[in-house]
């Protein structure tokens, strides 16, 4: 009998599959649709202080390898999601994970305080959205980030906090950020956000595919999976003795991808582009595929193989 359950900071999930932030998590019908699928938890769309319409269209494009998005965080504002969460919890027992992003130090604190007093189960703090024109990512400011992390922790003392971070392509950066996570007492980290400042060109029309930000946008989809796996494995080896957990995200399209992320140290995974392409059925498909892989390998729980990636030659 295979057990897919996992605990994220003592919050029980029936399986490790979660929708990525931004995918069908902005109002009650979408949230319930995701909750009724074979998900372990539901992740809200990233919220800001004020309601936002997002960027101008076209702001999303995809093919079989890539998805390019510059959506720009359209959302109804944090007060709306706080207001509807009790109603959502009457309709489902799935844990609710909120996502938040502030445009200033003070906004992050306001959001963390508000969600700390709400009915959500886990808070994901987005330090890494690449799709806000004129707004730098806090996650690459290594003097500002630790101060902001500690302030968020103090503002939300009662809720588990996960930091959503971008890809770090240098080991020294990962070491610095891992220390920040430990020092600020975050319970977890989500790796990775979309790869910002990416460009795909339509050679036929000689135009960009995306309108905002001069055609530059966040890259997701199958093509970014190796970068995401590298960050999960790199951070796992820095954090495995700290108790800090990892949610892996980036290019996950099948049960084999889920298996690989957990093998590299992820406690749970988030599915974004594949959810857009395949709908809610993608979660049941991934669950069944993961169970099949575990049965073939003789694993009965995720702990049997989490973080146990072998290095070639060992």
Would you name the residues annotated as active-site residues?
A: 129
Distance separating alpha carbons of residues 172 and 250, to the nearest angstrom: 22
**Which H or E run contains 235?**
helix 225-239
**Would you give the DSSP letter of residue 58?**
P
Structure tokens at 195: 């790869």
The residues facing 220 across adjacent strands are 67
Distance separating alpha carbons of residues 34 and 94, to the nearest angstrom: 10
- What sign results for the dihedral spanned by CA atoms 141, 145, 147, 152? positive
Give the position of tokens 């999976």: 225
Does residue 212 contact residue 243 with C-beta atoms inside 8 Å?
no
N-term to C-term CA, the chain? 30
Backbone angles phi, psi at 276, to 5 degrees: -60, -45
Distance separating alpha carbons of residues 137 and 94, to the nearest angstrom: 31
Does residue 182 contact residue 145 with C-beta atoms inside 8 Å?
no
C-alpha pair distances (Å), 217 with each of 55, 59, 72, 236, 266: 11, 8, 10, 28, 26
Distance separating alpha carbons of residues 77 and 47, to the nearest angstrom: 5
SS3 179: helix
Structure tokens at 162: 């996960």
């Amino acid at each position: 009998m295979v057990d897919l359950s996992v605990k994220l900071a003592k919050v029980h999930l029936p399986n490790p599959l979660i929708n990525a932030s931004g995918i069908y998590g902005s109002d009650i019908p979408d949230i319930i649709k995701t909750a009724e699928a074979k998900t372990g938890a539901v992740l809200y769309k990233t919220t800001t202080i004020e309601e936002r319409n997002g960027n101008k269209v076209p702001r999303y494009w995809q093919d079989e390898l890539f998805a390019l998005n510059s959506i720009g965080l359209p959302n109804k504002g944090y007060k709306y999601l706080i207001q509807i969460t009790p109603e959502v919890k009457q309709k489902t027992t799935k844990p609710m994970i909120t996502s938040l992003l502030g445009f200033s130090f003070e906004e992050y604190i306001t959001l963390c305080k508000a969600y700390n007093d709400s009915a959500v189960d886990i808070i994901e703090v987005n330090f890494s959205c690449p799709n806000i024109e004129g707004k730098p990512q806090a996650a690459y400011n290594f003097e500002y980030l630790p101060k902001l992390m500690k302030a968020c922790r103090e503002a939300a003392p009662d809720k588990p906090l996960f930091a959503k971070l971008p890809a770090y392509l240098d080991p020294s950066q990962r070491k610095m950020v891992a220390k920040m996570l430990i020092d600020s007492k975050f319970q977890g980290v989500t790796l990775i956000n979309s790869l910002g400042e990416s460009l795909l060109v339509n050679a036929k029309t000689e135009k960009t595919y995306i309108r905002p930000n001069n055609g530059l946008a966040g890259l997701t989809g199958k093509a970014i999976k190796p970068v995401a796996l590298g960050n999960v494995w790199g951070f796992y080896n820095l954090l495995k003795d700290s108790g800090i957990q990892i949610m892996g995200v980036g290019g996950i399209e099948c049960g084999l991808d889920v298996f690989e992320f957990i093998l590299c140290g992820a406690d749970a995974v988030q599915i974004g582009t594949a959810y857009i392409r395949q709908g809610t059925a993608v979660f049941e498909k991934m669950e069944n595929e993961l169970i099949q892989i575990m049965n073939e390998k003789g694993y009965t729980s995720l702990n049997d193989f989490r973080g146990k990636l072998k290095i070639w030659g060992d």
